C-alpha cells in the first residue's frame, strides 16, 4: 500500500513536471561558467594566498570606484580571511590619511589610519560617484558576491537543495570581468557604455577594469586578466561571507553529531517498541503500570 501510494505520488509529480518545460524562460545571457573555487562544497576553505592577491587587485584597481562599507583594515588579519599579520595591517592602515575630529578646539584634522578604521571611500558621496562614472553608481562591494545570482534551469528548484554549491554570484563576477568583448554588429551601444557579454542588457557603465600585467603580483602567480578575476572574485566571496571557514567546520561537527545521536535514538526506539508491531508481540497491559 505504501509503495503504491508513493508511486502514485511520483507519477502525479512527474506528470506535472513534464508539462512545465513549456514554462521555462529563454536565457538571453550566456550562463557564467562554474569555476573550481577552493571554498566551494562542504569541506571548502578560503585559500589565504589567493585572498591576499585578491585584496591587492581590489586595492589597486576596484577601490578607485567601489566602496566597501562593512570592512575595516582589522578584518584583513581575521582568521579565515587573508590573514595578514597585525603588523602588516597596521602598516597598511597607516599608509592612508584619515580625517578625524572634531578635536578639543573644534577642528577636523588628518591623521594616519589605524587598523580599526573602515576602508576608505573612493567618493565623498553618491552624487560624486555618479558624476565620475557617467551617471552610474559603482555598487558597494561588501556583500556584492552574495547579491548576484545566476538564473538556473527550470528544474533547478528540485536539484538546488541537494547541491552545496553556493558560488553562483562569485562565478558571475569572474565571468563579468572576463566578459568584455567587441560590440557585435547590430547592437547599438549607448555612449559611455561598454559591451559585456554577461551583464544583463550587455551595456555596462564600468570600463574594462582589468588588463594583463596591470597588477604586480609578488608570489609568481600569472599576471593575466583571468588570474586577477579569479583572485578578486575569491576576495569578494570572503568579504561577503567572512565566516565561511568557521561555518563549514562547525557544520561538519554538528552534522556528524546529529547523525550519531539519531542512530542511538533509533536503536532505543527499536528496543522500546520491540514486539509491538506484529502478531507475536504481547500487547502491554499499561493499565497495570
Partner 1 sequence: MSGPSTYVPQNGFLRWFESRLPIIGLVHSSFIAFPNPRNLNYFWTFGGILAFMLIEQIVTGLVLAMHYTPESSMAFASVEHIMRDVNYGWLLRYLHANGATMFFIAVYIHIARNLYYGSYKAPREILFILGVIIFLLMMATAFMGYVLPWGQMSFWGAKVITSLFSAIPFVGDSITTWLWGGYSVGNATLNRFFALHYLMPFMILGVVVLHIWALHIPGSNNPVGVEVKSQKDTLPFHPYFTVKDAFSLVCFMVVFAYFVFYAPNYFGHSDNYIEANPLVTPAHIVPEWYFLPYYAMLRAVPSKLGGVCALFGSILLLAFLPWLDTSRVRSSNFRPVYRAFLFLFFATVIGLGYCGSQEPVGSVVVWSEILTAWYFIHLLIVLPLLGFFETPRKMPASITEAVLGPKGASAAMVGARAAAEPSVKG
Q: Contact residues for ligand HEC (CB under 6 A)?
A: 57, 61-62, 64-66, 133, 136, 138-139, 144, 148, 173, 176-177, 199, 204-207, 209-210, 232
Q: DSSP per residue over 90-128, as a string?
A: HHHHHTSEEEE---TTS--EEEE--TTSBPPPSSSSHHH
Q: How many helices (H) and strands (E) does the chain have?
A: 8, 4
Which one of ligand HEC, partner 1, none is in contact with 216 (Cβ closer than 5 to 8 A by kind)? none
Q: How many residues bind partner 1 (CB under 8 A)?
A: 65
Q: Residue 5 and residue 119: Cα distance in Å, rounded? A: 59
- For residue 246, give the C-alpha cell: 568557521
174 binds partner 1 (CB under 8 A): no
Q: Residue 138 and residue 28: Cα distance in Å, rounded? A: 24
3-state helix, strand, coil in the chain (%, to 5): 45, 5, 50
Q: Smallest distance from the beta carbon of 215 to ligand HEC, in angstroms?
A: 9
Q: DSSP per residue over 114-183, as a string?
A: -TTSBPPPSSSSHHHHHHHTTTPPPPP-TTGGGS------TTHHHHGGG-----HHHHHHHHHHH-B-PP
In the region spanning residues 224 to 283, those forming contacts with partner 1, defined by CB under 8 A, are 240, 242-243, 246-248, 250-252, 254-255, 258-259, 261-262, 265-266, 268-269, 272-273, 276-279, 281, 283
Which one of partner 1, ligand HEC, none is in contact with 65 (Cβ closer than 5 to 8 A by kind)? ligand HEC
Residues in the site for partner 1, rule: CB under 8 A? 1, 5, 8-9, 12-13, 15-16, 19-20, 22-23, 25, 42, 69-70, 75, 139, 142-143, 146-149, 157, 160-161, 163-164, 166, 168-169, 200, 240, 242-243, 246-248, 250-252, 254-255, 258-259, 261-262, 265-266, 268-269, 272-273, 276-279, 281, 283-287, 289
Amino acid at each position: 500500500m505504501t509503495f503504491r501510494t508513493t508511486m502514485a505520488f511520483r507519477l502525479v509529480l512527474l506528470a506535472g513536471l513534464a508539462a512545465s518545460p513549456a514554462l521555462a524562460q529563454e536565457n538571453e545571457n550566456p550562463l557564467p561558467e562554474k569555476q573550481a573555487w577552493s571554498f566551494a562544497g562542504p569541506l571548502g576553505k578560503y585559500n589565504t594566498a589567493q585572498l591576499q592577491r585578491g585584496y591587492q587587485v581590489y586595492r589597486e584597481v576596484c577601490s578607485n570606484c567601489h566602496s566597501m562599507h562593512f570592512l575595516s583594515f582589522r578584518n584583513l588579519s581575521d582568521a579565515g580571511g587573508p590573514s595578514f599579520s597585525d603588523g602588516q595591517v597596521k602598516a597598511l592602515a597607516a599608509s592612508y590619511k584619515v580625517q578625524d575630529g572634531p578635536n578639543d578646539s573644534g577642528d577636523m584634522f588628518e591623521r594616519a589610519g589605524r587598523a580599526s578604521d573602515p576602508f576608505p571611500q573612493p567618493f565623498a558621496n553618491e552624487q560624486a560617484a555618479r558624476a565620475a562614472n557617467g551617471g552610474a553608481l559603482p555598487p558597494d562591494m561588501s556583500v556584492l558576491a552574495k547579491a548576484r545570482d545566476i538564473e538556473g534551469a527550470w528544474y533547478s528548484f528540485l536539484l538546488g537543495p541537494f547541491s552545496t554549491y553556493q558560488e553562483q554570484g562569485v562565478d558571475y563576477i569572474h565571468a563579468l570581468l572576463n566578459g568584455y568583448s567587441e560590440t557585435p554588429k547590430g547592437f547599438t551601444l549607448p555612449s559611455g557604455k561598454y559591451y559585456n557579454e554577461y551583464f544583463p542588457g550587455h551595456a555596462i557603465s564600468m570600463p574594462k577594469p582589468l588588463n594583463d600585467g596591470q597588477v604586480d603580483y609578488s608570489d609568481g602567480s600569472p599576471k593575466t586578466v583571468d588570474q586577477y578575476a579569479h583572485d578578486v572574485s575569491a576576495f569578494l566571496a570572503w568579504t561577503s561571507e567572512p565566516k565561511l571557514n568557521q561555518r563549514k567546520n562547525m557544520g561538519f561537527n554538528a552534522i556528524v553529531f546529529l547523525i550519531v545521536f539519531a542512530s542511538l535514538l533509533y536503536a532505543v526506539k527499536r528496543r522500546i517498541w520491540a514486539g509491538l508491531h506484529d502478531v507475536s508481540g504481547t500487547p502491554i497491559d499499561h493499565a497495570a503500570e
